[in-house]
Chains A and B, each alone.
Chain A
Amino acid sequence: MANSSESDNFNSSLQPNYSDEHIELIAKDGMNFWFNQGFTWLVYVFATITVLVLFSMSWVIFDEAKPAIIQFGIGFLWGNDWDTGNQVFGALPYIYGTLVSSAIAILFAVPIGIAVALVTSENFLPQSVQTTLGFIVELIAAIPSVIIGLWSIFIFIPVLEPLQKWLASNFKWIPLLNSQDPVGTNMLTAGIILAIMILPTMAAITRDVFIATPKELRTASMALGSTRWETIFRVLLPAGFSGIVSAAMLALGRALGETMAVTMVIGNSAQISASLLDPAYTIPAVLANEFAEAEPGLHIGALSYLGLILFALTLMVNMGAGLLVQWVSKKNR
């Protein structure tokens, strides 16, 4: 009996009480309701604006590039000439320069970035020193690109040039280094400067990957008698591999789009040369140099077409990295 009356009470308490019709738990009018409703709408509208920025960006650039797309079609990608006077435009030297300089940058930045990430996440050094080191490396990302360019023109290239001259005179038989009297502004220099600029990205993300690796894996490896470096090579790096790859892809995305420093050091000569010690040109660099003075019509169209190609390239790389990061974080969860 006692039980049944209790459950009756319980049931009746779950039922909404209709006896007093003035109590409304969910308001449908009043100032607060409209404030709330308006706020919700506002938030949705502004989130939509953010999304629209990306889509309108693609549309506007496509629209600007239309004259060149109609004129040259897909053949623009492997066209070799860039002649403003005769209105003939081809993108290949720029695409080549962009890809090769970024590849050099990745080649330098990945091992150094991993080393910095290890030093700032493993217990080589006291915690305070680690944090400070990581902080200093990340500050490189805050330096304006144009100042890095200024530094490389007046301070870094004079240091690098004798080395490059020596390489060119002693290793002529390697096609990569075969160049007549390199002057310092060339593909290799641009690659190294890019490596410096993307290092913070690479180091910071790789460090997060290492920190996120489960402690148990490391402890187990240590317990089996591995040294620190054996643990790093056999456990830490394989476990964090996908994270490191996505870090490298994000860094590559940065390198592809980097403009000012590259424009100042790459030599700005639209040619495809096997040698890394020859001057080259990149898509961002030609945009920076020519866009402001370009004639409306085919020239602006061709430059916008280049911008569209760069946009697509970085979009692919960044999306790949983003999907990889999401996949990795889902797997770890």
Chain B
Amino acid sequence: MSNYQKSEIDESLTAELYSPLPTNRKLFTYGMNAIAFGFTGLALIPLLSILWEIFKRGISGFKPEMFVKSVIDYGFGNAILGTITVVAIASLLSIPVGILTGIFLAEFGQSNFTAHSVRFITTILAGVPSIVVGIFAYGVIVLVTKSFSAIAGGFALAAIMLPVIVLTTEEALKLIPTDQRLASAALGGTRFQTTFRIVVTSALPGITTGILLAVARATGETAPLLFTALFSLDWSAGLLSPTASLPVLIFNLYNDPNPEKNQLVWTTSIILLGLVLCVSVFSRLITSNRKIKNN
């Protein structure tokens, strides 16, 4: 009975409980919503602006013969060839080492001390600034061969690609169910047969994606090439002489007063940006599809 006497207080309390949020909490919600969406919008502006401006400024001066002329003749043929050479050398050096180290991390004692240290060192390696890698390649190749060269550039890029390939290979191999390994072992497969015929074969799309990402990253790298592959205005004389590349072309010529050279910089940027973005969009789409399927 006494409860009913207090009913007035209870009603107001109920009313408060059922009412929409008090003004200050409502304001906080709306304010924070606005800030979060505003910041996200702000984050998107640079990318959209870069894509739009590079395309707009670069497309006007584009001529198909630029692909076969060297920088001296206002083309970027030698830079494309140089980039391909340097990245190919880097891939040759880093892909075998990277895949086998990835196999080591995923297949040989995933949680013992050695694997932990190798994994830790690989993550540290991934964080080393690319210009520092350039100093390393300068010391190992340029000082020994006494010449700036495509090989030195390729060596530097290999050190940058290596941790990317190791870590993505490990991730790809980890996605393969243990049952498949056990099945192979039960049929008498050795570790070599299990790894190569079963695990690596099933993980091949994932490993390829990792390699593509590493190649895309290496293609856009400028800093380690500045004092390893250096640059050349004309076609490179060979693997042991200075070699042009697309990113270094942009860096060397962006301040050039010659309007024709300036145009060349923007057109080269379209090629480089297109190359890098296509590869990384493509490989990311593949991985996101795979993740959804596995869930």
Contacts and interface: CB of A to CB of B under 8 A. Distances in A.
Contacts of B219: 144
Q: How large is the interface on B (under 10, 10 to 19, 20 to 34, 35 or more residues)?
A: 35 or more
A192 B39 CA distance: 14
B28 interface: yes
Chain A interface, DSSP helix/strand/loop, else mixed: helix
Nearest to A133: B40
A260 interface: yes
Contacts of B77: none
A291 interface: yes
Nearest to A263: B251
Interface stretch (B45-53, B65-73, B84-92): B45-53
Interface in B103-149: 103-105, 107-108, 117-118, 120-125, 127-136, 138-140, 143, 148
Contacts of B98: 50
Contact of A119 (B40, B50, B162, B196): B40
Given A147-B273, A284-B129, 10 more contacts: A112-B43, A140-B46, A146-B247, A147-B50, A147-B220, A147-B269, A154-B57, A258-B129, A287-B223, A311-B129
A47 interface: yes
Nearest to A197: B46
Chain B interface SS verdict (over half): helix
Contacts of B76: none
A54 B131 CA distance: 14
A262 B125 CA distance: 22
A43 interface: yes
A136 B49 CA distance: 13
B142 to A, nearest CB: 10
A64 B135 contact: yes
Contacts of A50: 97-98, 101, 118, 121-122, 125, 162-163, 166
Given A287-B131, A318-B124, A143 B44 contact: no
A166 interface: no
Interface string B22-38: 00010011001101111
Contacts of A292: 148, 226-227, 230
A203 B43 CA distance: 10
Interface stretch (B4-12, B171-179, B185-193): B185-193
Nearest to B32: A229
B139 A139 contact: no
B29 A116 contact: no
B54 interface: yes
Interface residues of A, number: 88
Nearest to A50: B101
A63 B195 CA distance: 40
Contact of B190 (A36, A135, A230, A260): A36
A160 to B, nearest CB: 12
18 contacts: A35-B190, A46-B100, A50-B97, A53-B159, A57-B132, A64-B143, A115-B40, A136-B47, A144-B272, A146-B247, A146-B250, A149-B251, A154-B57, A229-B28, A292-B227, A314-B132, A315-B127, A326-B120
A151 interface: yes
Contacts of B121: 50-51, 54
B269 A284 contact: no
A192 to B, nearest CB: 10
